[in-house]
Amino acid sequence: MAGPTPQEPLKTQQKCIAIFALVCCFAVLVALIFSSVDIWGDDEDGITEENCSKDCHIVLVENIPDDLSFSMDGRPHLPVFVGFHTLLDQAKHSVEVVSSAWDLNSWDLETIPSPAKQGQLLFQRLLRLKSRGVKLKIASSLTNSTELKALATHNAEVHYVNMTVFTRGGLHSSFWIVDRKHIYIGSADMDWRSLSKRKELGVVVYNCSCLALDLHRVFSFYWQLHERDYIPSIWSKRVTALYGKNNALQLQLNSTPATAYVSTSPELFCSKDRTRDVDAIYQVIQSAKTFIFISVTDYLPLVKRSFRGTSVTRYWSSIDEVIREAVVLRGVKVRLLISFWKKTHPLTFNFVTSLKSLFLIHTALIFFVFIRFFSHKEQNDDIQLGLNHNKYMVTDNAVYIGNHDWVGSDFAINAGVGLVVKMNGSSGDRGVTILEHVKATFERDWRSRYAQTTEGCLMLNWRDNGTAVYQTHIFLT
């Protein structure tokens, strides 16, 4: 029998080399796809961590519905819609928007003047960005919005984030980035109600490219999830956080020394070095020395998950326990203002009663927990009209403004961002800051006739069709 020819080992070796080369090429290709942000370049728009601006101006923005009447606190705030228009006035190159809702028009409203007028004006300005040569990029939840389709026909780039495939949750994030220099973060989204009929609060930060660059990395994270049904195990350094709770940005805010950073949730969406929203809230509460004021739509320390068709609800202690520690161990005064509306979960009152017991039992030790519900008449056709939609916390030295209500499931499965600002130095040295503005806003709401102390019982009634209706007897004290 003839043995192998000298050429056969050589051919085998060549095949191995070719296969190895193909595998290497495939690996490089996959790496490039996973880190496609790097392809854009490290100095897009010429702004980098080295040359970005840290001398910033921050403004509190609010939407107060016309049918809400408050006493003047001496600090008028910029309306949310004016803040958005000011950002569009500043735009020269790019506008990046993240919002789950896109309902600025509501042409079916027949009221003259229409409460959706501000939304319509904002939508028209977004359409006209193309004529100014300004790029508009939008990251949104998976929706069939006609407004997004209209913006896309006017050169807007729209990417969709399908949260259902990632966490079975939703996109709650709401923020703007303009020219990588100016930002907005707050409770208002691209819904006409946020500009007219719903009570909202947020901040606009101008000429703060360092903070804007970091928030842009969160936007880039969302941008890369378009048409994906998985989270890559390896991410580009271009979505790595620049700042966090352990290395906050040192900056000047309205000529006052401060630190700031951006947090995100859920944990699955936290790229390298990014602080979780829950950890940011934990840090702000732990650093408080004298008071903690919290204003949210819903407060419910529970996480609800579905597993193999079975729904499981568990106590979520992350925030609830740190509030108790602040009261009992450090004697910090806590005020919690929660919205009372048709979607208020009945168990909210159980947790509220538990928190209030810290004050009732330990009065002699000067432990203070005060809880009120912000209640306003609701319109039959839209339960959100007049709703207090705020989502913030202010303490004696820091403020947190986020996109989530303080509900365990929100932080666990829904996407959102938060902004932490901490003022340096003593209050006597720094003058009137964003902290004082937010605190004054909270105290105005707290003292208003809409903030009611609740005592009594919760009743559950059933309509004929089986729909649950929650009613609470509210007694003023």
pLDDT digits (tens, 9 = 90+) for 144-180: 899 999 999 999 999 999 999 999 999 999 999 999 9
DSSP-assigned letter for residue 316? -
Tens digits of per-residue pLDDT, 53-88?
A: 999 999 999 999 988 888 776 567 899 999 999 999
155-159, 360-364, 410-414: which has the minimum mean pLDDT?
A: 360-364
Instruction: Choose among 331, 302, 346: nearest CA to 459.
Output: 346
Which range has highest mean pLDDT (164-168, 238-242, 399-403)? 399-403
Confidence of residue 361 (pLDDT cuts 50, 70, 90): low
Q: Which two tokens stand for residue 203?
A: 């901040």
Q: For the chain, give every domain's residue range.
A: 45-472
Residue 425's pLDDT is what? 73
Q: What's the mean pLDDT when you consider all of the chain?
A: 84
Q: How far is CA 374 from the centre of its chain?
A: 21
Mean pLDDT for the stretch of residues 333-339: 96
Q: How many CB atoms lie within 10 A of CB 328?
A: 14
Checking if the pLDDT of 249 tops 90, the result is yes
Question: CATH number of 45-472: 1.20.1050.10, 3.30.870.10, 2.60.40.10, 3.40.640.10?
Answer: 3.30.870.10
Confidence of residue 2 (pLDDT cuts 50, 70, 90): low
221-230, 241-250, 346-355, 426-435: which has the minimum mean pLDDT?
A: 426-435
Confidence of residue 41 (pLDDT cuts 50, 70, 90): very low
**Cα–Cα distance between 210 and 177 in angstroms, integer?**
12
Burial class (CB in 10 A: 0-12, 13-18, 19+), 302: middle
Mean pLDDT for the stretch of residues 198-218: 97
Helix (H, G, I), strand (E, B) or coil at 86: helix
- The H or E element spanning position 311 is strand 310-315
Residues 6+ apart with CB under 8 A from 326: 285, 286, 288, 292, 332, 334
Instruction: Choose among 392, 442, 468: nearest CA to 185.
Output: 392
Confidence of residue 462 (pLDDT cuts 50, 70, 90): very low
**Cα–Cα distance between 474 and 340 in angstroms, integer?**
10
Confidence of residue 195 (pLDDT cuts 50, 70, 90): very high
Confidence of residue 463 (pLDDT cuts 50, 70, 90): very low
Residue 101's pLDDT is what? 93
Q: How many CB atoms lie within 10 A of CB 65?
A: 18
Checking if the pLDDT of 130 tops 60, the result is yes
101-115, 192-206, 245-259, 441-455: which has the minimum mean pLDDT?
A: 101-115
What are the residues facing 58 on neighbouring strands?
A: 205
Confidence of residue 188 (pLDDT cuts 50, 70, 90): very high
Residues 6+ apart with CB under 8 A from 260: 211, 243, 248, 249, 251, 253, 419, 420, 421, 422
